[in-house]
């Protein structure tokens, strides 16, 4: 058989294919009884036509995949082949089932070696995704086991095949197609002498599966993020700043954004409303406005139906100390806070800012989100701790003065997106206010980063602003793409971590006595 002569077509199996199917199954399954009766195949085609796949070369049937629908909860537990087919050889198809059970996949021996079986597996996976089914299950024979039965237990044989120390004609192929062995099945098919009655329960999990819920409970997979590259300038009053904030919140809401993001310390120009001779008193003066901003921006979140990442503001804690705090203000009226953990030398020296001691992932109606304020994103442990809590989206409000400072934040934020397989929104401020101490210059080019793999842009940058220009920008984020890259990407950073060699955990701060 020459490759140049192949004319392959993948289609559904038809009743008229049975004569060729019988010949093919008798050839492949000569050791376990040969072909299914015609009535069995006819019933499968009638009950679940999309699940019966045929691969043909011109008019010759050279490959088949047969399937039925089942209840996942029933067939993900130990069972036997007889539990599936009954005694009449009419295999019941559960039309409202939530999983596919793979009965057979076979390729004509003359056509093997060209990865044709993979085409049938991929088509079956696509069927599973398109029908929003939970998984593909299969009872897999291990026909190579009889050659090693004297030296290995069945479980040891399966592990050896998984490590590629032993090749099994069926199990090796199924493992290479992303199936996982869930358990060992005993007396699955007693007449299978080569497998000595054993089989593996295999599962391919549909990571895009969504359980049927009411409309209001469905998890969002597509969200829109809007952010403000904010111009630092002199303001005559608190009301003037809030008016500018509301203008942008209104605009971002009009474009259907799920989030409105502001930069770190965006209301810092209000320090200009008082004397600048004492840096500490100036920043403490700024903190006196934080409660009003938090309250007013929470009102905006509800009124404009948008979740607001309120950049960050200086907050005076119950202990009288000053903290740099970001607020998540949800459109349902609830709120969260995330303090900056790592304080820059300038913040510590000039403003006596303290670092926070808590790190969280927050649930929203548009994904699980984390917030790292500026300098915090330069510490990779924090991003990984958030990723371990199933974070989808990381917000990084920042404020940098020079380009090299900006590039530190940018490159680290980009790395967090790649290594944690998440989206990262970087949002900064521009402009200058020479009259305010420590607010002389700004440099920013805000951006949205993605993992670096095929579903995303080649440079892993979804969007970015014009440098040093006040503007708003948007990005549409697809969480299903994150699921795919985390499970089936070119590399899978989160799955491939060597937890047997190292661990990372949050050390809770000891309470003061």
Taking the domains of the chain in order of start, what are their residue ranges? 8-205, 222-488
Q: What is the pLDDT of residues 125-182, one digit of tens each?
A: 999 999 999 999 999 999 999 999 999 999 999 999 999 999 999 999 999 988 999 9
Token pair 């199990």 in the structure block, residue? 171
Q: How far apart are CA 161 and CA 168, in angstroms?
A: 7
How high is the pLDDT of residue 22?
Answer: 96
Instruction: Answer yes or no: 427 catalytic.
Output: no
106 Cα distance to chain centroid: 33
Q: Which two tokens stand for residue 268?
A: 């810092």
Q: What local confidence, expressed as pLDDT, does residue 507 receive?
A: 85
List Cβ neighbours of 20 (8 Å cut-off, separation of 6 or more).
Answer: 60, 61
264 included as an active-site residue: yes
* Tokens 């924090």, residue located: 382
As a three-state string, the secondary structure of 435-462 is CCCCCCCCCCCCEEECCCCCCCCCCCEE
Q: How high is the pLDDT of residue 53? A: 97
Give me the helices (H) in 101-195, please: 116-130, 154-162, 171-176
In whole angstroms, give the CA distance from residue 480 to residue 221: 6
Catalytic one among 203, 340, 347, 427? 340
pLDDT at 32: 81
Among 3.40.630.30, 3.30.2090.10, 2.40.50.140, 3.40.1280.10, name the CATH number for the domain at 8-205. 3.40.630.30
- DSSP class per residue in 56-109: EETTEEEEEEEEEEE-HHHHTS---HHHHHTTTS-----TT-SEEEEEEEEE-G
Residue 374's contacts (CB-CB under 8 Å, 6 or more residues apart) are 264, 340, 344, 396, 397, 398, 399, 400, 409
For 386-398, the three-class secondary structure string (H helix, E strand, C coil) is HHCCCCCEEEEEC
* Catalytic residue selected from 264, 315, 347, 421: 264
pLDDT score for 114: 82
**Alpha helix locations (H) across 279-335?**
279-287, 290-303
Helix or strand run (H / E) with residue 183: strand 180-185
**Cβ–Cβ under 8 Å, residues 278 and 438:** no
Q: Please check whether residue 444 is in contact with residue 464, taking contact to mean a CB–CB distance below 8 angstroms.
A: no
The residue to which tokens 């969200």 are assigned: 223
Give the whole-angstrom CA distance, residue 226 versus residue 463.
11
CATH node for 222-488: 3.60.110.10
Residues of the chain with pLDDT under 50: 214-217, 510-513
Structural tokens at position 302: 């509800």
Question: 135 and 205 in contact (C-beta within 8 Å)?
Answer: yes
| Active-site option among 128, 203, 347, 374 | 374
- The phi and psi torsions of 171 (rounded to 5 degrees) equal -60, -40
Q: What is residue 511's predicted lDDT score, i.e. its pLDDT?
A: 46
Q: Is 115 helix (H, G, I), strand (E, B) or coil?
A: coil
Phi, psi of 445 (to 5 degrees): -140, 95
What torsion do the CA atoms of 138, 144, 149, 155 make, to the nearest 10 degrees? -40
Start-to-end CA distance of the chain, whole Å, equals: 81
Q: What is the pLDDT of residues 59-112, one digit of tens each?
A: 899 999 999 999 999 999 999 888 888 667 789 999 999 999 999 999 999 988
Q: SS3 for 358-386, per residue?
A: CCCCEEECCEEEEECCHHHHHCHHHHHHH
């Amino acid at each position: 058989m020459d490759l140049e002569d192949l004319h392959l077509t993948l289609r559904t199996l038809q009743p008229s294919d049975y004569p060729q199917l019988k010949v093919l199954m008798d050839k492949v399954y000569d050791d376990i009884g040969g072909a299914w009766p015609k009535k069995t195949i006819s019933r499968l085609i009638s009950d679940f036509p999309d699940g019966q796949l045929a691969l043909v070369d011109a008019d010759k049937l050279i490959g088949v995949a047969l399937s039925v629908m089942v209840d996942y909860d029933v067939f993900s537990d130990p069972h036997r082949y007889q539990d599936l087919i009954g005694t009449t050889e009419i295999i019941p198809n559960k039309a409202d089932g939530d999983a596919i059970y793979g009965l057979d996949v076979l390729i004509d021996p003359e056509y093997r070696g060209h990865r044709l079986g993979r085409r049938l597996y991929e088509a079956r996976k696509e069927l599973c995704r398109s029908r929003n089914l939970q998984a593909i299950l299969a009872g897999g024979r291990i026909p190579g086991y009889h050659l090693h039965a004297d030296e290995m237990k069945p479980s040891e044989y399966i592990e050896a095949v998984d490590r590629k120390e032993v090749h099994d004609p069926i199990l090796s192929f199924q493992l290479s197609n992303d199936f996982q062995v869930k358990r060992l099945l005993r007396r699955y098919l007693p007449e299978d002498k080569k497998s000595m009655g054993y089989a593996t329960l295999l599962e391919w999990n549909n990571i895009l599966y969504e359980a049927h819920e009411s409309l209001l409970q469905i998890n969002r997979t597509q969200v829109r993020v809007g952010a403000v590259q904010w111009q630092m300038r002199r303001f005559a009053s608190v009301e003037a700043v809030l008016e500018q904030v509301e203008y942008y919140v209104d605009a971002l809401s009009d474009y259907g954004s799920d989030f409105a993001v502001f930069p770190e310390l965006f209301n810092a120009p209000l320090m200009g409303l008082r004397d600048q001779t004492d840096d500490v008193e100036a920043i403490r003066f700024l903190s006196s406005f934080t409660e009003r901003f938090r309250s007013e921006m929470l009102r905006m979140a509800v009124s404009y139906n948008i979740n607001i990442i309120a950049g960050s503001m200086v907050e005076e804690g119950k202990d009288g100390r000053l903290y740099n705090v970001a607020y998540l203000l949800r459109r349902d009226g609830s709120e969260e806070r995330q303090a900056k953990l790592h304080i820059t030398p300038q913040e510590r020296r000039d403003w006596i800012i303290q670092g926070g001691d808590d790190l969280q992932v927050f649930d929203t109606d548009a994904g699980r989100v984390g917030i790292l304020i500026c300098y915090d994103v330069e510490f990779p442990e924090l991003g990984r701790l958030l990723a371990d809590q199933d974070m989808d989206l990381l917000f990084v409000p920042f404020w940098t003065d020079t380009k090299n400072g900006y590039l530190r934040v940018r490159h680290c934020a980009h790395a967090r997106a790649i290594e944690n397989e998440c989206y990262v929104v970087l949002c900064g401020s521009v402009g200058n206010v020479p009259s305010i101490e420590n607010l002389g210059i700004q440099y920013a080019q805000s951006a949205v980063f993605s993992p670096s793999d095929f579903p995303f842009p080649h440079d892993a940058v979804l969007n970015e602003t014009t440098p040093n220009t006040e503007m708003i920008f948007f990005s549409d984020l697809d969480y299903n793409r994150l699921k795919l890259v985390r499970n089936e990407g070119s590399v899978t950073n989160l799955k491939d971590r060597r937890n047997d060699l190292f661990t990372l955990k949050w050390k809770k701060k000891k309470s003061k006595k």
